[in-house]
Amino acid sequence: MQKIAKEIACNTITPDALDVLAEISASVPLEFTVGDRKYAETFSLVGYWQSDTAMEARQVWLSREYLDFALPENMLHESDIAGTIAADIRFYGLLKTLSATGKQIRGVMRGQALLLRLIIGMPLGLFSGYACGNVLTPLVLSITSFKDASAGNSTPLIFVFSALFSLASVFISCRKPGLRRGCRP
């Protein structure tokens, strides 16, 4: 069987809560659940940092080798998405802490969405739609009773309306999260 690095790094609150001395090479027993699967392992403490006294959160970093071995691939992907969401939440919380108004936070959210849409989504969507249309339309026409019909042409107006519809849907989808992030608790 493959030897896995059962190593962790954590803040000083975590070993204290587990009645373990916070020192390098200490054995730290952990029980945790990911999805429906429960884990109970003993890890070697390879590093620790002073806990934030204002926040009683327990933080544990597992080694990448352990994660690669123990967790299924889809769980790692979900954890990357959850990490991205958590980073966004921290970012908006930081903006609120720095006294950003709701309107400013909504503007940042709209700007991020617009930037992602203009750089990645829209060009990719328009190109793939155009390519599929040019390939599939003649194919579908050839197997139907419209064999002699022409496949038509692509007018720039179609792309303009597609881009405008796409932008409108992005702004509509940003509205509710923007209101939620922009309001004061």
Same-domain status, 64 and 104: no
**Mean pLDDT across the chain:** 75
Nearest-angstrom CA–CA distance, 144 and 130? 21
Residue range of the domain that includes 17: 7-70
Domain count, the chain: 2
Q: What share of the chain is helix, strand, coil (3-state, %, to 5)?
A: 55, 15, 25
Q: What is the pLDDT of residues 66-105, one digit of tens each?
A: 777 776 655 555 555 555 656 777 777 777 777 778 788 7
**Residue 39 CB neighbours (<10 A):** 13
pLDDT at 2 over 70: no
Q: Is the pLDDT score of 124 beyond 80?
A: yes
- Does the residue 80 lie in any domain? no
Place of tokens 């617009």: 114
Give the C-alpha separation, 108 to 113, whole Å: 9
Residues 59, 120, single domain; the answer is: no
Q: What is the pLDDT averaged over residues 99-123? A: 79
In a domain, 94, yes or no: no
Q: Which residue has the tokens 């020192």?
A: 23
Which pLDDT band, with edges at 50, 70 and 90, does 1 fall under?
very low
The enclosing H or E element of 174 equals helix 156-182
Decide which of 51, 70, 89 is a domain's last residue: 70
d(CA 70, CA 72) in angstroms, rounded, equals: 7
> Do residues 56 and 123 both lie within one domain?
no
